[in-house]
Structure 1
Amino acid sequence: MKKIIFDTDPGIDDAMALLLAHACSDIELVGITTTFGNASIENTTRNALYLKQKFGMSAEIAKGVNIPLDQVRTEPATLVHGENGLGDIKIPKIIDTQISPLIAHDYLIETIKNQPGEITLVAVGRLTNLAMAIKKAPEIGKLVKEVIIMGGAFGHNGHTGNLTPFAEANVYGDPMAADIVINADWPVTLVGLDVTQQTFMSNAYLEKLRVSSAKYGQFIYDITRFYAKFYNDDLGLDGFYVHDSSAIMYLVAPQIFTTKQGRIRVITDGPAKGHTLFKSSDRVFSIDEWAARPKQTIAINVDPQVFNQRYFDVICSDETD
């Protein structure tokens, strides 16, 4: 059983990833920590509480901070996810679900220390919560099983950015946090645009999912109508790329991904802000800001057909812990 804490800013694709984790029989969803990005921290936390209540999740939920480490706020991605973050579906005004008394980064520290070597952190939003946790308690690096991040872009398969020409949105939203988390003393895998934009779910696929999964299908179909319209209006696509679910899929089916290792720095300012720079060479240059950094893993390819079939099979199994 893989125990995870899911750090997220729900978010339509975040919700799809969360439901994949919940439905997967070999994942124990221990906790959900919320961050800002796809919507405000208030909306993302409410959405997480709503998803927990609606689908009967046992995971604790801890609310994160509402501003990146560099204090530079970006507007919520309402154009992509709707005003409420879940495609503007109707959400109850009152959600009868408790929230942890701990702020997200303290919740991460406490939970990791209480379950040493057992917790995998899966982060699919800004990395502010993880950065604050590892800065406050660097000793948790040795206690975390692994860190899987949906973020970054390294130029494989022609993918270099989606918010700017050279930056992926999660990293751009808090580049200082990303640089801290990627270079901390714990094993990190970045599942970025190199693979998430290789995987595509068509509207026909979503329609098939709708009628095949009694538990999740209609909900996924409903929230993705807004998302699919954005992709159609923006890129002319009949469906959308599969970002956040790719991080969960890497956890449960790493064999369908191709990876490589190297050292990574994140550009934190200027026109290339949010750019993830990967150094695969072991050569040490006379000026080298990468040389002393840990080697981490990036995903560079994926089998999209197997991915979509696996997602479909898990969601339609309707199995929960």
Structure 2
Amino acid sequence: MTTKIILDTDPGIDDAMAILFAEANPNIELLALTTIFGNADIETGTRNALYLKERFNLQCDVVKGTDKPLYREPVGASVAVHSENGFGGIAIETPTITADPRPAFQYIIDTVKASPGDVTLVAVGPLTNLALAYNHAPEIAELIKEVVIMGGAFGTHEHTGNVTPFAEANIHDDPHSADIVFTAPWQVTIVGLDVTHEAFFSSDYIDTLRDTCGEVGQFMWDISRFYLNFYKERMGVNGCFVHDPSAIAYVIDPSLFTLRKGPVRVVCDGPAVGHTLQKYTDTKHKTDEWSDMPAQNVAIKVNDQALLDLYLDSMTSYGAE
């Protein structure tokens, strides 16, 4: 069964890997790329999305999103991880195509209302566009099939944060929006560091993508040089964790993941800003600002080898077309 998705993305290197994965797998119909600040600023990220659409003949819409968080001061693009141009510094031609004229939040509202119950929102960057869509039209919560998030860290397998000791980057960039999205009355599945740090694209694996996936494999290899250098210098590993593609893998095959259910809140200020916390027991407390919130799914385990096989198989088939 094909799942229609809007992919809300801050196109950096692992975003490109996720975008092409969504395009490659026949179980996903990629309706749109809605862009958001994060790995790159909004102009660069939107340019990168348009570049991917034009270079690889993607049939999806590209829609420019907001350029700043709801309330907090922007923390800036992740240049040290993704480079100044978001794609590892490789040469990027200026796209000749343009984005949809609507703001991303309005595009989300319009598309969901036009296809009630059919559209899954997949967000792999800060959640501001989703929060704006919900704030402007809360009725869409009943019309969306599912919201799938790459973000957060809940301490499973000792994975607690990557930009602070207790915060993951996408949530830290706009914690207020994340708290809105996690507490809205729609079904959310959070694919965070608890599982993305359990799957690993080794440098040999990325070499295999280059050698077996045609032009798209070469492109992913090219943009990953900067990314892998960051991982080697920062963490001493030869490869990278599977962040954004893991959210796409969940949409394709949820059975790859073990989920834990319970309401989720986000710390919105102080030294732990961006920290995600799930209440997954029925314990009663005198003060409990989780208890009245909807129970959401948090991924806590992943079949990492099956995920790697799914990605390689999808991209190899796509590269051969």
| TM-score (structure 2 length as normaliser) | 0.98
Q: Is the 8 A contact 1:24 1:319 kept in 2?
A: no
Instruction: Please give the alpha-carbon distance, in whole angstroms, between the structure 1 residues aligned to 2:212 and 2:243.
Output: 22
The letter of the residue matching 1:222 is D
CA displacement at 1:319 relative to structure 2: 7.0
Instruction: Please give the alpha-carbon distance, in whole angstroms, between the structure 2 residues aligned to 1:163 and 1:62.
Output: 27
- Residue number in structure 2 paired with 1:135: 135
Runs ≥4 residues deviating over 6 A: none
- Residue number in structure 2 paired with 1:196: 196
Do residues 9 (structure 1) and 10 (structure 2) align?
yes
Do residues 247 (structure 1) and 255 (structure 2) align?
no
Instruction: Please give the alpha-carbon distance, in whole angstroms, between the structure 1 residues aligned to 2:306 and 2:61.
Output: 31
Q: How does 1:81-100 map to 2 (within 5 A)?
A: 81-93=82-94, 95-100=95-100
Percent identity over the alignment is 51
- Residue number in structure 2 paired with 1:118: 118
Instruction: Please give the alpha-carbon distance, in whole angstroms, between the structure 2 residues aligned to 1:309 and 1:320.
Output: 16
Listed one character per residue, the Cα deviations across residues 100-156 of structure 1 (whole Å, up to 9, x for unaligned) are 110000110001001111000000000000000001100000000000000000011
Instruction: Please give the alpha-carbon distance, in whole angstroms, between the structure 2 residues aligned to 1:305 and 1:42.
Output: 36
Listed one character per residue, the Cα deviations across residues 45-82 of structure 1 (whole Å, up to 9, x for unaligned) are 00000000011111111101111011411110000000
- Residue number in structure 2 paired with 1:59: 60
Q: How does 1:273-292 map to 2 (within 5 A)?
A: 273-292=273-292
Q: Is the 8 A contact 1:63 1:104 kept in 2?
A: yes
Do residues 222 (structure 1) and 229 (structure 2) align?
no
Instruction: Please give the alpha-carbon distance, in whole angstroms, between the structure 1 residues aligned to 2:195 and 2:305.
Output: 12
- Structure 1: stretches of 5+ with no match in the other structure: none
Q: Which sits farther off after the overlay, 132-141 or 311-320?
A: 311-320
The number of equivalent residue pairs is 320
- Residue number in structure 2 paired with 1:300: 300
Matched position secondary structure for 2:263: strand
Instruction: Please give the alpha-carbon distance, in whole angstroms, between the structure 2 residues aligned to 1:267 and 1:320.
Output: 46
Instruction: Please give the alpha-carbon distance, in whole angstroms, between the structure 2 residues aligned to 1:87 and 1:103.
Output: 27
Q: How does 1:63-78 map to 2 (within 5 A)?
A: 63-78=64-79
Instruction: Please give the alpha-carbon distance, in whole angstroms, between the structure 1 residues aligned to 2:133 and 2:192.
Output: 22
How large is the Cα RMSD of the aligned pairs? 1.1
CA displacement at 1:318 relative to structure 2: 1.1
Matched position secondary structure for 1:259: strand
Matched position secondary structure for 1:100: coil
Instruction: Please give the alpha-carbon distance, in whole angstroms, between the structure 2 residues aligned to 1:74 and 1:191.
Output: 22
CA displacement at 1:208 relative to structure 2: 1.0
| TM-score (structure 1 length as normaliser) | 0.98
